[in-house]
Structures are given as structure tokens and as C-alpha cells.
Structure 1
Amino acid sequence: MAKRNRRSGNPAVRAQPPSSSPGSSRLAGYDPQLPEALPPDGAPYPQILRGPSYVWWRAMLGVVFGLSLYLLMTSVVTQAVLGISWGVVGAGAPFAEFSRRALAFEIPAGMIAANLGIATLIPICWVLMAIVHQVRPRWLSSVQPRLRWRYLLICAAAAFVVLNAVTLIPLALGSTAVTVAPQAGFWGFLVVIILTSPLQAAAEEIFFRGYLMQALGSLVAHPAFGVVVSALIFALMHGVQNPALFLNRLGFGLLAGVLVWRTGGLEAGIGAHVVNNICAYVIAGLTSSMAAVRGISSVSWLDSGIQLGGFALFAVLALLVARRMRLRTRVDLALGR
């Protein structure tokens, strides 16, 4: 059997079209009639784009387009949804006041608008992969290339247990008692959270830990570059924050990025992100308000450390599960499915 080239950092590696060799024509979903640039055989997830279509300017162009479209489309879609909501439930209030209250998450329409705006990152990533890099969007999911649903659901269950257990620690250390008293409009918010928060969380993972990590990771030979820079952009794009909150978001991005690198896909990050966002807003709605979570711009070093410790514990469990399931962590074109 011929020895497979595993030099994932070498952009000169060319993926060969299907031939008579066993397995090469059975790559998941591959249609030999359609052009497709395949990743280098043996590439880790952050360097999937260092394939036959790789040139450095494609990566830079994709990053610039991606961030620009992120800022543009999230704003356009958010304002469009707010306009429709104002026309339906605005009850004669001025649009400026309705928009202010909505975007502060005082009413459910704002959460719908914000989440659907961020969800546009999913088609943005698909377009960038197909047009800028000439690589099919399925390679965003994992090195297999597909979403490994069983692993995602196991990670979501682990995140639910670990992250909610950690949430109880700062509550237990607080000087005031926590009272369960659902805020006004809680049930409307709950429906919105269940229907749209998974889209919003998955979209952020696909963009920051998926597309940006692959585009930036293709620029250098070591996968860690994409992990670190995408995490830094993730923290910066979340706005004004105090040092403890900035490091909290940076730490989350780094841990999620390492999980993607070491497990070969986005599943663990998506599972944890979805669970974290849903639980954070549900708990807030039952004990304080959605607006209180929306308006957070600072946290204490203690709270930041506790939250990061919880996610680090989840990351260890997710890595152990991935090893137990023997998940593929590098591209293997011969195995296909």
C-alpha cells in the first residue's frame, strides 16, 4: 500500500480526483461531475484550507469579507426583523423607543432580531467557502466531513451538567438570596430562546471556530495560529468589557478552539455554546431578567475564573469522550465516510 502523505502544512499537497483506487471515489457526498478542491490528506481541522486552491490572498480576502459581511448582515437583518415586529406588536409606540427596549431584551422581539441577525453567519460562511476558497461548506463541520451528531449530543449533555453545576457556585457565594420569580413575558422569551438561541450559538461557532479558524490557520504551518487569532477576534467582537470579562471570553474562545483542533470538528463547541446560552437566559428570566444578562459589561475575577474553570472541566470531558469514540481528528480522503 502506498504511503499516504501527511504533511498537513504543505500547500503544495494536491488532492487527487476520484480514480480506480478503493475508497477515493466514496468520499462522503462527492460527485465526480462537480469541481471540488479537497483538503490536504492528513490535515488537522485548522488547516483544511491549505489544499490545492490555497493562496495566501484567498485567506485574507475571506477574513475581510467575512468580518465585513458579519457587521453588515447582522445589522440589516436585525433592523428588518425589528421593523416587522414593530409593525405587528408595536402598539403605536415610536420605532426608536420600541427598538431601544427590544435590543435591551426587555421584549422578546429584540432577542428574535438579534439571534436571527447572527444566524446569517451560517450562509455567509457557506458562500465564503464555496466562492473564495472553492471548497465545499461540509468541511466546516468536521474532518469527516459532516456533523457528528452523536458526539454533539453527548457533549451537550455533559455541558448541561457541568456548566449548570458551576453556575451554582457564585450563587451560593453571593450575599443575597436568589428568588425564583419569572420576569414579565417570560414564556414568550422561553419560546424565542428554544427556537433561536441554538441557531445563534451554532452560527458563532461555525464562523469563529469554523471559518475564521480555517482561513487564518491556512496562513501559517502550525494550527495553533488559527486557534489563537480566531479566539482573539471572538473576544474583541463581543464589545466593550472589563479585563476579567475580556479574558473570560478570550479563554472560552481558546478552549473551544483547542477542542475543535483536537477533536477534528465543531461539535463540542456547538454543544457547550448552545447549552450555555439557553441556560444563562432561562436562569436569568427566572431569577432576574433577560435584560440583566444582555447588559453585562463586567464580571469579577472570581466569577470569571469559576466560569472558565467549568468550561475547562467540560473541555477535558469532551476530549475524553472523543478519544473513547475514536473520532477522526485529521482528514483521511481514502476513508471518506
Structure 2
Amino acid sequence: MTARATPWRNEPPADHRTGPAARLLPYHRLGHADPEHRWWKPLVELLLFGAFYLVLAIVLGIVWAVGLVAVRGEEALDEVFLPGAELDILDPAIFFVLFFSLVLMIPALLAARAIMGPRPLGLLLSVTGRLRPGLLGRCLLAALVVYAVAQAAASLVEYALAGTPAAPQPVEGFWWLIAMIVLVVPLQCAAEELVFRGYLLQTVGRWLRRPVFAILLPVPLFTFGHLYDAWGLLAVAVMAVVAGYLTWRTGGLEAAIALHVVNNVVATLLGALGLADPDAVESTWVALTVSAGTQLVFAWWVVRFVRRHGVEVTRTVRPPRPGALPVPGPAGPAGLAGRGGPGEGTGAWVCPGPPACPGHWAARTPGRAPEPLP
């Protein structure tokens, strides 16, 4: 990684280039790695994603309902679906269906991306086209340390103000909850990041070059998907901004996934231990301050690590070779590039202008060979 390959340097807003052909794309612009990109493709991808997810959610609901009746009897469904019934998120059955229903966004989105592109599918994960396990592991470890220190500090403050802190009181079905916290919650967090920091960042990045738009525009969608008061929603919004910024700055979802996983695992674990109420919708400015401070410290560490270790944050995209593509001939029928005299059947790497992606091959201009744009 070189200094000019980093997307946060003071450079013109145009995509970074290493020459007249190659381009260095930051994460939010990876949709432009597809030479067949069109501005409307993300919208069709969204419709396909919604359709696939709806089918999977219906199947999950049917299977879950049948299983619940088989284990607990018919009255179990009445307790869940009767008017006025309150869902207990710490009931293992309710916990599973709420969190695993979000996991289904992963296969639904990957199926939609497989149809619409760009490929490889791993471009949703990082600029390398795959998940980077080393970076993910280091980010998970850093998030665990930061959250552990923050939780210990909060416990010391509680002890100083209120005396002995409350003792853990594990809820019923504790071990079932622990198993799902370990196995399901990380997948739920990864699914949300794949949609809100993967698909949405790259969708906005297909239309707008500036990363600030890709980072901020999805924030309201993520924030208002949570049912909290004003302080709680502000805390969610801060997390969305930090996760979006880290996704752009690191060239992938690893840091955002790590932050989300540790945040949700800590919250649900405290609920399973009886030390927090996971159904609470009210928060305070103190909780907002602690949450935001913890996430900002984590972001500072990640940015420092990425800069010091030269983590790849852009993807080099080169156009296909002109000689390998057919282009229109001078009299109508398409000929092969490279045939004929000078200027005959020659392709050029040109920009047709927004909203289409730069990177399509244009027909030969009569009378002269097309020139590549700088």
C-alpha cells in the first residue's frame, strides 16, 4: 500500500488512478469494479434481496412455529401471538427466532448479488474480495479489551455511588441462551453489517463519489430499525457512523463486524446474567457517553493499526485488453478489435458519464481512433 492508494488522503474527488487504465477503488466504490455496471442494478438487487428474504423468513416462521408447538404445546403460540402478548427476548425460543431471522439476510443478499453482480461476491466483504481473518481476529480482540475495560470502569463507578453491585442472577434457560449468544449473535451482527455497511455503502458509492454520503445516508435506516428513546437512538446512530467510517477506512467489513459482535454479545450476556434488561427502551446521556467513548477508542486503535501495518484499503481495477473485445466496424457489422489499418476496430477505455460507470468500451469514432481518457 502506498500513500496515494489510501482513500483518506487530500486528493481530488475523482477515483484514484495509477495510470490511464488502472483505477484504485475504495470500498464504497467497488460497484464500479464491474464493467457491466448500470446505475439501476442496485435497485433490482434490492428487490431480489427483499423477495429472497421474505421467502426464507416465511419458511423459518413455519418451521419455528411447528417446532414450538411440538415442544410446548398449542398454547405456546397463543402466548406469543395473542393481542397484548409481550415477547420475552430472554425466552430461548423467542431469542432464537428474533436473531436468526436476521441471519437469513446473508443468503438472501448473496443470492441477489450473485444474479446482479459485481463479482466476486467477496467484494461485499472487502477490497480483496474475501474476508480477512487476521484483521477480523485482531479487531475482535481489540474490541473485547476496550469493552472489558469500559465495563470494569462502569462497575467501579456503580460501586462508588451505590455500594456493592448487583450479583449475577442467571435467567431460566441460561445455557441455551449462552449457546445462541456464541453461535447466532455473531452471525446476526455480520448480517446487519453486510446489509447496512456493505450493500448500502456500495449502493450509494455507485452514484456518489464522496465517502461521506456513503457513510451517513444509511445511518437513519439502521438507527430507526431499533425501538429506543432519543438517547438510545443517538447511541445507535453513533455506532452506525463509526462502523461506516471504519468500513471505508479499512477497506472492508471486518472492523465493523467486530465492533457490532462484541457490542451485542456483551449486551445479551449481561441480560442472560440478570445484570441488564434487554427489553428496556429507555437510556440516558451517561450511557450514550460511555457507548460513544468506547467505540471511538476502538476506532482510533483500528485506524492506527491499519496505517502502521499497511492493510490494503483499495482495489486495483484494470480494464479488459482491447484486443480481446469485439467492437463495431466502419460499415455496420461488428469486427474484431485490432483488425484493419490504423484506427480500425480499436477500443478505448472511456467514461460515458454519470450515472453509468466509467469503464465501458465505446465504438470507434469515424475518421480517427479513440483516445483513452486521462
TM-score bin (small chain): 0.7 to 0.9
CA contact (8 A) 1:263 1:322 kept: yes
Q: Percent identity?
A: 27
Aligned equivalent of 2:232, options 232, 238, 245: 245
Q: CA RMSD in A?
A: 3.2
SS of residue in 1 equivalent to 2:217: helix
- In structure 1, the residue matched to 2:243 is 256
- In structure 1, the residue matched to 2:328 is none
Aligned equivalent of 1:54, options 37, 46, 53: 37
CA displacement at 1:82 relative to structure 2: 2.9
| CA distances 1:142-171 after superposition (whole Å, capped 9, x unpaired) | 001111101100100110110122234444
- In structure 1, the residue matched to 2:216 is 228
Q: What is the correspondence of 1:57-136 to structure 2 with a 5 Å cutoff?
A: 57-63=40-46, 65-66=48-49, 72=54, 75-76=57-58, 79-98=61-80, 103-136=87-120
SS of residue in 2 equivalent to 1:48: helix
Aligned equivalent of 1:139, options 123, 128, 131: 123
1:275 counterpart = 2:259: no
| CA distances 1:253-281 after superposition (whole Å, capped 9, x unpaired) | 11001001010011111112112211221
Question: RCO (CA 8 Å, sep 6+): is it higher in 1 or 2?
Answer: 1
Q: 1:67/1:317 Cα in 2 relative to 1: closer, same or farther (>3 Å)?
A: farther
AA of the residue aligned to 1:193: I
2:58 & 2:69 partners in 1: Cα distance?
A: 17
SS of residue in 2 equivalent to 1:56: coil
| CA distances 1:74-93 after superposition (whole Å, capped 9, x unpaired) | 75255234313313321442
SS of residue in 2 equivalent to 1:332: strand
2:89 & 2:64 partners in 1: Cα distance?
A: 12
Aligned equivalent of 1:182, options 154, 170, 177: 170
CA contact (8 A) 1:206 1:266 kept: yes
SS of residue in 2 equivalent to 1:331: strand
| CA distances 1:114-160 after superposition (whole Å, capped 9, x unpaired) | 22211111112212222233433110110011111011001001101
SS of residue in 2 equivalent to 1:50: helix
TM-score normalised by the chain length of structure 1: 0.80
Q: 1:168/1:96 Cα in 2 relative to 1: closer, same or farther (>3 Å)?
A: farther
2:256 & 2:101 partners in 1: Cα distance?
A: 20
CA displacement at 1:59 relative to structure 2: 2.6
Q: Which runs of 5+ in 2 are unaligned?
A: 319-374
Q: How many corresponding residue pairs?
A: 303
1:196 counterpart = 2:179: no
1:228 & 1:68 partners in 2: Cα distance?
A: 26
TM-score normalised by the chain length of structure 2: 0.72
1:73 & 1:104 partners in 2: Cα distance?
A: 25
SS of residue in 2 equivalent to 1:135: coil
- In structure 2, the residue matched to 1:21 is none
1:249 & 1:301 partners in 2: Cα distance?
A: 13
CA contact (8 A) 1:77 1:113 kept: no
- In structure 1, the residue matched to 2:303 is 319
Which has the larger helix fraction? Answer: 1
AA of the residue aligned to 1:88: A
Larger radius of gyration: 2
CA contact (8 A) 1:162 1:314 kept: yes
- In structure 2, the residue matched to 1:25 is none
Q: 1:43/1:167 Cα in 2 relative to 1: closer, same or farther (>3 Å)?
A: same
SS of residue in 2 equivalent to 1:180: coil
SS of residue in 2 equivalent to 1:256: helix
Q: 1:137/1:121 Cα in 2 relative to 1: closer, same or farther (>3 Å)?
A: same
